[in-house]
Amino acid sequence: MTIIFEHGQRIRLPNEQRIVVVDGAMPTGDGGWRLYVVDEGDLRSVTLSERDVDRVETLATDGGADPAAVLAGLWSEWMRAASVTAKATALAAAPLNPYPHQNTAVYGAMLPQPLLRFLLADEPGTGKTIMGGMWLREMQRLGFVNRALIVAPAHLVSKWIGDFERFLGGGLRRITAAVVREGVLALPHDVWVVSLELAAVNPSVFEAIHPARAGWDAILFDEAHRLTPTAQAFHRVGRSLATSTQRALFMTATPHRGNEWLFRSLMHLVDPKVFPDVERVDNDEPVSALRPGSVHFLRRMKEELVDYDGVTPLFKKRTAYNVSVPLNVDERILYNEALDMVDRYFQQSAQPLARMVTASAPPRRCSRYARRCAAAATRWGHGTPRKRLSRSTLIWSTRKSATWRRSSTSPPPLPGRSARRSTAW
């Protein structure tokens, strides 16, 4: 039988199982063909001899196939798709209807790996907390995980507990200094959460949550970008936990932050056997950018996420652009004062994160703190008389905050402002 290959034709090549699509075909002159086929999204070339051509199977919509074979094929495809999108047993009784991208991450990327070492880096607002909780509950249902720990910033601990209570069956308990002191952690409870800050500053908590003592089968790290070496106390916690447990899930919306060394140090925590350790963190970028594979890394932007119909966007379209705002004399003076604060008080390893390049100034002389100070000068200067601050008072406050920052995690209250507002600043 003579076969003429055409563009768009679906065929099965000799000794292969998958159906591929012909993108282009050229006869070789000796009865063979050179084909360019699309195989699961990838284009590859195949050279067929005259004998191989006779063994090629073509897929035709002529209604002549065996009905039983067609039904079996349809059933297999349905089961394969359902394993990724269907609601699993662990969530059947929970009031949670995951979005398609959440199901894909949990059932398509993470659950197939019994010993998961993974960085989930989707954009903010995509539901990483839900995805982490779904993965953990499914791992418990499958019998891979009996006891797990969630490490999150202090301000997110209550959110984790609330989300578990609302969507994932509850049962998430908080580790505090009192819990450790009273030996409650020794109870056979399955899921715990601890604040990263507490683990970093309390030696008793740090020792009690070590996998060698607590017996964690899995650890989840929320806001994992905080674990890089520039934050030594947090990095110590992450390194101690991540390198001593079999399963670790890291979640952050900012995995790179513009510094290749920081990204590499984070990926080393994800899987130390695959990604080598990083000895320095500075502005000298490596020769090549690290590109982790799908086994260890997943990042999706909001523009990519659609509903179950595969068409309807889950998020409205965004348009981002930069706005240049010139500084007046007072703002420029305050801006320079804040830059000097970074140069004078921040540790050398932390200075790259404190500076940010803009189009109007050299890289060394740009800082997010400086821009916030400049903006605050105008905002406070036009505020109510009670809240109005002079430039000299604001500069004094900036210097005091920088001095105090060396031994604490948040600045003291600015004159005339509440402690809460000062921390946000």
**Exposure of 253 in the CB half-sphere (CA atoms within 13 A):** 9
> How would you classify the pairing of strands 20-27 and 10-12?
antiparallel
Model's pTM, two decimal places? Answer: 0.62
CATH topology classification for 95-304: Rossmann fold (3.40.50)
Q: DSSP state, 361?
A: B
Burial 117-127 (b: 16+ CB within 10 A, else e): bbbbbbbeebb
Q: What pLDDT score does 42 carry? A: 80
Q: What are the pLDDT tens digits along the chain (425 aa)?
A: 567 888 888 999 998 888 899 988 888 888 888 888 888 778 888 999 888 888 898 887 777 788 888 888 888 877 766 655 555 555 666 678 899 999 999 999 999 999 999 999 999 999 999 999 999 999 998 999 999 999 999 999 999 999 999 999 888 999 999 999 998 898 888 999 999 999 999 999 999 999 999 999 999 999 999 998 889 999 999 999 999 999 999 999 999 887 888 899 999 999 999 998 877 755 566 667 889 999 999 999 999 999 988 899 999 887 888 888 888 888 888 888 887 887 887 766 666 666 553 333 444 444 455 555 555 555 545 544 433 344 444 444 444 443 333 333 444 433 333 333 333 32
Structural tokens at position 339: 């830059």
For the chain, report the end-to-end CA distance as a whole number of angstroms.
77
CB 65 within 8 A of CB 84: no
Residue ranges per structural domain of the chain: 10-58, 95-304, 329-424
Rg over CA atoms, the chain: 28
CB-based contacts of 146: which residues, under 8 Å, 6+ apart?
A: 140, 190, 217
